[in-house]
Structure 1
Amino acid sequence: MDISIHRPDELNTSLRAAWHRAMDESPDYANPFLAPEFAAGIGRHRGGAQLAVLHERGEPVGFLPYERGTFGVGRAIGLGLSDCQALVHRPGVTWDARELLRACGLSVFEFDHLVEEQKPFSRYVTGAFSSPVIDLKDGHGSYPEWLRGTYPGLAKTTLKKERRLGRDLGEMRFVFDERDPRVLRTLMRWKSAQYRRTGRMDRFARPWIVRLVDDLFQVREEHFTGVLSVVYAGDRPVAAHFGPRSRTVFAPWFTAYDPELRYYSPGLIMHLRMAEAASRQGVRLMDLGRGDKEWKDWLKTRELRVGEGFATRPHPVAAAHRLWRRPVRGLRNTVLAHPRLREPADRLLKTVGTLRTSDKAGSGSRPGSGRAR
């Protein structure tokens, strides 16, 4: 096995085609977060992005995008943003994890959404978690017919709220693939304010993430397309979502809505509308991503398993990194796994978010004004 190292944003046409072929040959690798276009997007905005290409008899057969930090500390490409991580390879290809790390110049490789199939990394998995998905079939008939047939327990209430939204604000309509960048800005503004209200890290306060989303919005390829979906009432955006799709997998990513309209359940309406529209586009799986959320339990048809952990080779840096990071991840996972701990933690974060928002209002700042434009 020969391994070469490249910049993911500088791949030639033949390597990109070989990567796409590996995605097509296994459903485990059909997720758009595993596409070269996503890795290239990260590479254009993150200096440490690299790609290991595995060769057998001179032919490229495997691809591992990663980010390399100081002292050889590595992490899955887009860690913290990506909902699916793997070494994408053709069927039958085997590799040794430590040999791979050595070739990449890494002492440690951290991941948190590793696909279950990755056996050479299995010994390094410190936790396995459910990742809810929706299996989609060919869409036929009207949206109400699809909703009643697929989610009979949600149909009556959801359709009632849609009708009420139309009466109160103007005719409701849904656009699966909106190309207006102004609505993308609205989505980022809503999401930024939501992060602050709930005490979470504001991702859109980071300029490189804003630039990445702007960049991926322009990508329209067979294995990766940046899709902006919008629920409108009249001409007013009510809810919006941006996320990637491949030929067969759609990955919800950033969803937000006008908080003034939360009583209409715009987030649920958005996800149901997206699922129905995606099924008509040939999508067969909607990957909702790791995390316990009530709405995911309502919508999922089954669950995948993803792994979290640290692949290492003998090195002092690897030992130090593991000692530092593993307790932090363990504490977070313990809180998230137990409702009695998670609910007080959520309340605390929301209190912090309220105080943070109040401070900004008192200083004359608008909610979301700290986000890079």
Structure 2
Amino acid sequence: MKISVVRPRELGGPERARWRELQKADPSLDNPFLSVEFALAMDQLRDYVRVAVIENEDRIVGFFPYERHNFGIGKPLGGFLTTCHGLIAAPDLQLDARALLRACRLTVYDFDHLVAGQPTFAPYESDVRPAPVMDFTTGFDNWLDQVKANSPKNLKTVRYKERKLGREHGGLRLAWASDDESELRTLLSWKSDQYRRTGRVDRFAQPWIVELTGLMHASRSPDFSGVLTMLYAGDVPVAGHFGLMTATTLVGWFPAYDTEYARYSPGIVHHMQMAEAAAKSGLHIIDMGKGGKEYKDWLKSGTLYVAEGRVSRPTPAAAVHWIGRTPFNKARTIVLDRPSLYKAADRVLKGFGRVRSTVQHDPNAVPKEVPGAP
């Protein structure tokens, strides 16, 4: 087995075609974050992006995209931005994971959204988590029947709010696969506001992430596209989503809404309409990703699985990395897996978000006690 490491931009036409061939041959790899187009876009913006090309008897049998940071610390391509990573290879390909790390000049590789069960990494999986999906393979109406079975009360409430929003604001329409850059800017401004309001780090404060989103929005091909949807009430945008799509799978990425319309639950109304548009366009699945949002439980009609874990070589850098990261990863898993803890953590973060917003608007203001904080 021969392993060579290159920048994604150095892959020629035959190598890129082989990547797509391997991806299409395995349904578990049907995710745009595993596409060569995503690797190429990341390579335009980040110097630490690499891909290991795996050959057997002069034939490429796999690709391993990753990021190589200081001290040989390896991370999945796109890191915290992405919801799927792993080897793009035949399902039965099994490598010595530590030998792969050595070829990639990595001391450690942490993963938290790896395609579960890949033979190379399966021995290092510490946990496997469900990622709920909306599955339209048997038709949109069957999916809707499942949603109703999951929670008739929630569906009834959303439909009521949907009618009310349309009635009071001039009717609803969904713009599917919009190429309007101003709509994308509007969505990202909502998302930045949401990050700040809920105490999270604003990802779009980093220019390279804004640029990556723009590159993805401009991508249009049969196998890979950025997809922007926007829900309008009359002539006013009220909620939207930007995600990435293969020929059959749309992955949730950046949903957001205008808080002026929060009483109508425009985010969920948008998701329902986006699901119908996706099914009509021929998509089979919307992957909502793992995580503790309650709406995923009643919108889902299927489940994929992603793994968490760590591979390391016996080096001082790997040991230091373990001390710094492993306890945090375990704590995060516990919180995400327990709705009560997730809600409590979410309340605390929102409280800090309100304090931060108050201080930013009035530096002399005395913050009130943060609800839920110790």
Settle same-fold status: TM greater than 0.5: yes
Q: 1:90 to 1:172 in 2, by over 3 A?
A: same
* 1:124 equivalent in structure 2: 124
1:341 aligns with 2:337: no
Structure 2 residue aligned with 1:151, among 140, 147, 151? Answer: 147
- Cα pair distance change 1:345/1:203, threshold 3 Å: same
Aligned-partner SS, 1:324: helix
Give the Cα–Cα distance (whole angstroms) in 2 for the partners of residues 155 and 327 of structure 1. 39
Written as runs of structure 1 = structure 2, the 5 A alignment for 1:73-152 is: 73-137=73-137, 139=139, 149-152=145-148
Look up the equivalent residue of 2:235 and give its one-letter code. D
Residue aligning to 1:64: 64
Supply the AA of the counterpart residue of 2:286.
M
Relative to the length of structure 1, the TM-score reads 0.92
Q: Secondary structure at the match of 1:251?
A: strand
Q: C-alpha deviations, 1:220-252, integer Å up to 9, x for none? A: 122210000010011110101000010111101
Is the 1:162–1:264 Cα contact (8 Å) retained in structure 2? yes
After superposition, what is the alpha-carbon deviation per residue over 1:166-200, rounded to whole angstroms, capped at 9, x for unaligned? 22111210112111000100011000000111101
| Aligned-residue offset at 1:148 | 5.5
- In structure 1, the residue corresponding to 2:268 is in which secondary structure? helix
Matched, 1:286 2:282: no
Per the TM alignment, residue 147 of structure 1 is displaced from its structure 2 partner at its CA by: 7.6
Identity fraction in percent: 44
Farther off after superposition, 299-308 or 287-296: 299-308
In structure 2, distance between residues paired with 1:107 and 1:135: 39
Q: Could you tell me which residue of structure 2 aligns to residue 370 of structure 1?
A: none
Moved more, 339-348 or 306-315: 339-348
- Write the distance in 1 (CA, Å) between the matches of 2:28 and 2:121: 15
User: How many Å separate the matches in 2 of 1:338 and 1:179?
Assistant: 39
Work out the CA distance in 2 between the residues paired with 1:311 and 1:346: 31
Q: Deviations 1:93-151 (Å, cap 9, x if unpaired)?
A: 321111111110111111110011312212222222111112113657xxxx6786453
CA distance in 1, matches of 2:253, 2:197: 19
For residue 156 of structure 1, report the CA deviation from its aligned partner: 3.7
CA distance in 2, matches of 1:270, 1:113: 26
For the 8 Å contact 2:92–2:119, the answer to whether it is kept is no
* 1:338, distance to aligned residue in structure 2 (A): 2.8
Q: Secondary structure at the match of 1:110?
A: strand
Q: Is the 8 A contact 1:139 1:276 kept in 2?
A: no
Match of 1:63, SS state, is: strand
Is contact 2:223–2:247 with CA below 8 Å preserved after alignment? yes
Residue in structure 1 matched with residue 354 of structure 2 by the alignment = 354
1:232-243 correspondence to structure 2 within 5 Å: 232-243=232-243
Which stretch of the first structure deviates more once superposed, 333-342 or 102-111? 333-342
The answer as to whether partners of 1:147 and 1:155 remain within 8 angstroms in 2 is no
Corresponding residue of 2:191: 191
**Which residue does 1:43 correspond to in 2?**
43
The whole-number CA distance in structure 2 between the counterparts of 1:316 and 1:254 is: 37
**1:270 aligned residue:** 270
After TM superposition, give the deviation of residue 6 of structure 1 in Å. Answer: 1.3
Matches within 5 A, 1:5-20: 5-20=5-20
| Superposed displacement of residue 71, structure 1 | 1.1
The AA in structure 2 aligned to 1:151 is V
Counterpart in 1 of 2:162? 162
Q: CA separation in 1, counterparts of 2:12 and 2:54?
A: 15
Q: How many residues align?
A: 360
In 1, Cα distance between the equivalents of 2:255 and 2:75? 25
Q: Conserved in 1, the CA contact under 8 Å of 2:146 and 2:301? A: no
Write the distance in 2 (CA, Å) between the matches of 1:179 and 1:137. Answer: 27
* Of 223-232 and 37-46, the range deviating more from structure 2: 37-46
**Other-structure match for 2:174:** 174
Distance in 1 between the 2:319 and 2:47 partners? 25
Which letter does structure 1 place at the counterpart of 2:108? V
By how many angstroms is 1:211 displaced?
0.7
- TM-score in terms of structure 2 length: 0.92
Deviation of residue 275 (structure 1)? Answer: 1.6
In the TM superposition, what is the alpha-carbon distance from 1:88 to its structure 2 partner? 0.7
* Letter of the 2:204 counterpart: F
Structure 1 residue 70 displacement after superposition: 0.8
Q: Distance in 1 between matches of 2:129 and 2:146?
A: 26
Mapped to 2, the partners of 1:83 and 1:148 lie a distance apart of 25
Moved more, 3-12 or 353-362: 3-12
Task: Using the TM superposition, give the Cα deviation of residue 205 of structure 1 relative to its aligned residue in structure 2, in angstroms.
Answer: 0.8
Provide Cα deviations, 1:267-304, integer angstroms capped at 9, x if missing partner. 11121122221112221121110102110001111222
1:106 partner SS: coil
After superposition, the C-alpha distances for 1:325-354 in whole angstroms (9 at most, x for unaligned) are 001111222223233433332221111100
Stretch deviating more after TM superposition (23-32 or 158-167): 158-167
For 2:367, the equivalent position in structure 1 comes to none
1:15-73 deviation per Cα after TM superposition (whole angstroms, max 9, x unaligned): 11000000110101111110011111111111100000111121212011100011111
Q: Quickly say closer, same or farther: Cα 1:148–1:208, change in 2 above 3 A.
A: closer
> Following the alignment from structure 1 to structure 2, what is the Cα–Cα distance between the partners of residues 78 and 206?
14
How far apart are the structure 1 equivalents of 2:79 and 2:335? 20
